[in-house]
Amino acid sequence: MLGLMQDQPLLISSILAHAARHHPKGEIVSKTVEGDLHRTTYRDIEPRCRRAARMLQRLGVQPDDRVATLAWNSFRHLELYYGISGMGAICHTINPRLSPADLAYIINHAEDVVLFLDTTFAPLIAAVAKDVRTSLRAVVFMTERAHMPDIALPMGMDLLCYEDLMVAADEDYAWPSFDEHTAAALCYTSGTTGKPKGVLYSHRSTVLHAFASNMADVIGLRAADRVLPVVPMFHVNAWGTPYSAPMVGASLIMPGRHLDGASLTKLMNDERVTLSAGVPTVWLGLLNHLRASGERLHTVKSFVIGGSACPRLLFEAFDKEYGIRIDHAWGMSELSPLGTYNAPKPANADLAGEELMRLREKQGRSIFGVDMRIVDDEGRELPWDGTVSGHLQSRGLWVCNSYFGGTAGDALTPDGWFATGDVATIDADGYMEITDRSKDVIKSGGEWISSIQLENLAMSHPDVAEAAIIAARHEKWDERPLLIVVPREGRTIDKAALLSFYEGKVAKWWIPDDVVFVSELPHTATGKVQKLALRTEWANHLVAG
Ligand code: AMP
């Protein structure tokens, strides 16, 4: 017997329709590329999103077509998120920090038909347009006529102005209803190894992820929140905030391209931001700015940090010096992205000092909707004792099943789990801790050493600005940890003193064999330290000569 409840598909357009009807005054404030501050509300943006759907129809966009965006976080990007998916097409967000070759590759692979972009990226598209195949019919700059860049495009590719098209379209459009499993958004992984792969989110997975993200022990947004996603809308949908914020009526503060400490501080204070989310490098930049300028953040209550392991320094500094709570989360493009979130349980609510810090450094526990397990090289499940590490696998309601252009289930193990490529421990309370990417693991004399734990310790040294550990080749042990350090500005660090900093904190045989000092570390398009580049440069450091 079937239940006797109403049946409505989980569609992304319903989130915005709800926000416009029940939170009409919720704000979307955007720092534009031109430098001014644009303000709108859910009431006013919803008809603009319907107008955007009409504009797409006039451009010949059909359901299932891929429509690309190359843009910062802004109200126009939000209009496209809803306009494109709301009409049944697929919003393909492109990371502008990818190499031009990868950019052309993914536009071709996705067979994008229209590309919407910020004027900042005019040189980028001018450079790659010749390598883009003919599926791309139009390039639309997300600006007004007065700011249109003048670039040459290949024959058959129109150069258009967003606001002109919006004026020409009308808003007499009603959101259509369709199967909730329909594809809504496409995001390519940063592709540190091999070609980027497309993760294709559905309406259903996106709406469920937004619900889950709004649970109290997850990001838990509320109507009174003013959320500043530093994490870009071109990387895993800004961790779902463009959906989770309107779902509860929270205001969105869009920083555009200004992500440095000074700009973020000003925007957060001016716009009374309560919560923000981003990768550790952003918060390190913000912390440096606050310390150097003496400024404070007056309204921020918490930061969500993920994408890379959150160094201890950030927990300590923001908590103690600024009264801002840091929430540690783990996820990946293939998980929409949220997989775990670090929130207390009764069993650990009273922890303090070092024990509490160790708990907070972990990436968190499973959120309802995503399960996880750790397995050994043969795929046998490993115990949850907080010590044994293994390959982390996930499955759930917003976990990738196969990549765009692949065949159903081809991203999964034979028994239906997604292999994350991370290596982790899980403790008896269910808290998972990432120890490495499997390709970054250091195998010294047959035993694994966690590069993340060693990096975190190095980063807690007062004179270290940033640190990375790589596996360096070693004649006797095969591989040994090598510490690569960027000293804090104006400081010099003594090698031996830095290495002795590890004593008593990790097993003796984990202590790195050497330290190299550099002026900066290379980062990937999504803000992670580029270990591959470091390995290419330093892997022979311990064997050379
Ligand atoms: P991406 O798909 O680009 O978002 O990258 C996902 C990867 O980032 C994961 O598989 C992890 O290796 C890493 N990652 C994400 N969050 C964390 C975290 N809190 N701590 C450590 N690594 C993380």
Q: How many CB atoms lie within 10 A of CB 101?
A: 9
DSSP 309: P
Atom from ligand 1 closest to the CA of residue 526: 3
The DSSP string of 398-415 is TS-SS-TTS-TTTTB-TT
Centroid of chain to Cα 39: 25
Classify residue 283: in a domain, yes or no: no
Question: How many Å lie between the centroid of ligand 1 and the Cα of residue 492?
Answer: 31
Determine which residue's CA is closest to atom 23 belonging to ligand 1. Answer: 308
Question: How many Å lie between the centroid of ligand 1 and the Cα of residue 306?
Answer: 7
Q: To test ligand 1's pocket by mutation, which of 98, 333, 434, 459 has the most ligand atoms within 8 angstroms of CB?
A: 434
Confidence of residue 349 (pLDDT cuts 50, 70, 90): confident
User: Which of 190, 207, 224 is the last residue in one of the domains?
Assistant: 207
Determine which residue's CA is closest to atom 22 belonging to ligand 1. Answer: 308
339 vs 57: CA distance, rounded Å? 36
Atom from ligand 1 closest to the CA of residue 333: 2
Classify residue 373: in a domain, yes or no: no
pLDDT, residue 440, reads 85
Determine which residue's CA is closest to atom 9 belonging to ligand 1. Answer: 332
Determine which residue's CA is closest to atom 21 belonging to ligand 1. Answer: 309
Determine which residue's CA is closest to atom 6 belonging to ligand 1. Answer: 332
User: 101 pLDDT exceeds 90?
Assistant: no
pLDDT, residue 481, reads 95
User: 227 pLDDT exceeds 90?
Assistant: yes
Mean pLDDT of 285-293: 95
Percent of the chain with pLDDT over 90: 85
Decide: 330 in ligand 1 pocket, CB within 6 A: yes
Decide: 297 in ligand 1 pocket, CB within 6 A: no
242 vs 251: CA distance, rounded Å? 10
Q: Where are the beta strands (DSSP E) in 10-108?
A: 27-31, 37-41, 66-70, 90-93
300 vs 314: CA distance, rounded Å? 15
Q: Residue 386: CB partners within 8 Å, gap ≥ 6?
A: 425, 426, 427, 428, 431, 433
pLDDT, residue 59, reads 98
Q: How many CB atoms lie within 10 A of CB 24?
A: 13
Confidence of residue 369 (pLDDT cuts 50, 70, 90): very high
User: 443 pLDDT exceeds 90?
Assistant: no
The 10s digit of each residue's pLDDT in 37-60 is: 999 999 999 999 999 999 999 999
Determine which residue's CA is closest to atom 1 belonging to ligand 1. Answer: 332
Percent of the chain with pLDDT over 70: 99
The 10s digit of each residue's pLDDT in 486-497 is: 999 899 999 999
Decide: 363 in ligand 1 pocket, CB within 6 A: yes
Q: How many CB atoms lie within 10 A of CB 53?
A: 27
Question: How many Å lie between the centroid of ligand 1 and the Cα of residue 436?
Answer: 10
Classify residue 251: in a domain, yes or no: no
pLDDT, residue 448, reads 84
Residue type present at position 495: K
Decide: 268 in ligand 1 pocket, CB within 6 A: no
Decide: 456 in ligand 1 pocket, CB within 6 A: no
pLDDT, residue 506, reads 87
User: Which of 188, 207, 226 is the last residue in one of the domains?
Assistant: 207
pLDDT, residue 193, reads 58
pLDDT, residue 263, reads 97
Q: To test ligand 1's pocket by mutation, which of 201, 528, 532 has the most ligand atoms within 8 angstroms of CB?
A: 528
The DSSP string of 411-436 is TB-TTS-EEEEEEEEE-TTSEEEEEE
Q: Residue 111: CB partners within 8 Å, gap ≥ 6?
A: 66, 133, 135
Peptide bond into 346 cis (omega under 30): no
Decide: 30 in ligand 1 pocket, CB within 6 A: no
CATH code of the domain containing 92: 3.40.50.12780
Decide: 112 in ligand 1 pocket, CB within 6 A: no
Structural domain total, the chain: 2
Confidence of residue 262 (pLDDT cuts 50, 70, 90): very high
CB–CB of 268/299 below 8 Å?
A: yes
Mean pLDDT of 102-107: 92
Question: How many Å lie between the centroid of ligand 1 and the Cα of residue 329?
Answer: 9
The 10s digit of each residue's pLDDT in 13-42 is: 999 999 999 999 999 999 999 999 999 999
Query: Would you name the residues annotated as active-site residues?
Result: 189, 334, 443, 448
CB–CB of 407/427 below 8 Å?
A: no
Centroid of chain to Cα 411: 20
Question: How many Å lie between the centroid of ligand 1 and the Cα of residue 204?
Answer: 23
Decide: 523 in ligand 1 pocket, CB within 6 A: no
Decide: 232 in ligand 1 pocket, CB within 6 A: no
Question: How many Å lie between the centroid of ligand 1 and the Cα of residue 425?
Answer: 15
The 10s digit of each residue's pLDDT in 206-223 is: 999 999 999 999 999 999
User: 229 pLDDT exceeds 60?
Assistant: yes
The 10s digit of each residue's pLDDT in 47-98 is: 999 999 999 999 999 999 999 999 999 999 999 999 999 999 999 999 998 8
Q: Which of 231, 186, 189, 184 has the alpha carbon at shortest distance from 102?
A: 189
CATH code of the domain containing 520: 3.30.300.30
CB–CB of 469/501 below 8 Å?
A: no
Question: How many Å lie between the centroid of ligand 1 and the Cα of residue 307?
Answer: 4
User: 189 pLDDT exceeds 70?
Assistant: yes
Beta-sheet pairing, 226-229 with 275-278: parallel
Decide: 434 in ligand 1 pocket, CB within 6 A: yes
pLDDT, residue 316, reads 92
Question: How many Å lie between the centroid of ligand 1 and the Cα of residue 420?
Answer: 9
Question: How many Å lie between the centroid of ligand 1 and the Cα of residue 366?
Answer: 15
* CB-based burial label for 150 (10 Å; 0-12, 13-18, 19+): exposed
Decide: 190 in ligand 1 pocket, CB within 6 A: yes
372 vs 335: CA distance, rounded Å? 12
Decide: 278 in ligand 1 pocket, CB within 6 A: no
CB–CB of 160/168 below 8 Å?
A: no
Q: Which of 166, 140, 143, 144 has the alpha carbon at shortest distance from 153?
A: 140
Between 437 and 185, the higher pLDDT residue = 185
Question: How many Å lie between the centroid of ligand 1 and the Cα of residue 279?
Answer: 9
pLDDT, residue 545, reads 58
pLDDT, residue 441, reads 84
User: 191 pLDDT exceeds 70?
Assistant: no
Decide: 249 in ligand 1 pocket, CB within 6 A: no
Determine which residue's CA is closest to atom 15 belonging to ligand 1. Answer: 307
Atom from ligand 1 closest to the CA of residue 528: 8
Classify residue 337: in a domain, yes or no: no
Range of the domain at 86: 9-27+39-207
Helical (H) or strand (E) element with 358: helix 353-361
Angle at which helices 241-248 and 203-213 cross, to 10°: 60
Classify residue 133: in a domain, yes or no: yes
Angle at which helices 241-248 and 12-22 cross, to 10°: 40
User: Which of 156, 191, 207 is the last residue in one of the domains?
Assistant: 207
Decide: 337 in ligand 1 pocket, CB within 6 A: yes
Classify residue 471: in a domain, yes or no: yes
Classify residue 256: in a domain, yes or no: no
Classify residue 81: in a domain, yes or no: yes
Angle at which helices 12-22 and 75-86 cross, to 10°: 130
Instruction: State the average pLDDT for the chain.
Output: 94
The 10s digit of each residue's pLDDT in 492-527 is: 999 999 999 999 888 899 999 999 999 999 988 888
User: 335 pLDDT exceeds 60?
Assistant: yes
User: 544 pLDDT exceeds 60?
Assistant: yes
